């Protein structure tokens, strides 16, 4: 099963951004890594889905997104616990990724 690990920076942990490369290597070596992205820090957050885009200060400091393979939720939580920055530099949210149904199509963009 695939799981998404969302790593959010703790206050004062900006220096931990460099740890993402270390995390990638560890997850890759263990055979769990499917995909990952380090995210630029943002002073402002732009959200769509409203009548007009909403711009506000970024209080959610998402640092990285990892997609991993794991047997089940317990295994995914165990893998998330391996992350060097977990607990000290960032908190990690674990969510199961839901695959689109076979043949499912996204909606057309205007």
List, for residues 60-106, the tens digit of each pLDDT value: 577 788 999 999 999 999 998 888 666 777 788 899 998 877 776 66
Q: Contact at 8 Å (CB) between 87 and 7?
A: no
Is the residue at 106 inside a domain? no
User: What does the pLDDT read at residue 4?
Assistant: 94
Separation of alpha carbons 88 and 30, rounded Å:
22
In a domain, 103, yes or no: no
* Helix/strand/coil percent split, the chain, to 5: 25, 35, 40
Instruction: Give residue 67's pLDDT.
Output: 94
**Is 57 within the bounds of a domain?**
yes
How many domains are contained in the chain? 1
Give the CATH number of the domain where residue 31 resides. Answer: 3.30.70.1060
Q: CA angle, corner 22, sides to 31 and 36, nearest 5?
A: 60
pTM, two decimal places: 0.73
- Report yes or no on 36 lying in a domain: yes
Domain range for 39 is 2-96
**Residue 108 domain-assigned?**
no
104 domain-assigned: no
Locate 1 and state its tokens: 């099963």
């Amino acid at each position: 099963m695939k799981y998404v690990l969302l790593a959010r920076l703790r206050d004062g942990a900006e220096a931990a951004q460099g740890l993402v490369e270390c995390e990638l290597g560890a997850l890759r070596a263990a055979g769990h890594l499917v995909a990952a992205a380090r995210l630029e820090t943002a002073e402002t957050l732009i959200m769509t889905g409203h009548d007009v885009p909403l711009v506000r200060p970024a209080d959610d400091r998402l640092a990285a997104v990892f997609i991993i393979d794991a047997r089940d939720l317990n295994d995914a939580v165990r893998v998330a616990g391996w992350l060097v920055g977990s607990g000290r530099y960032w908190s990690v949210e674990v969510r199961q990724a839901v695959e689109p149904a076979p043949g499912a199509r996204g909606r057309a963009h205007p």
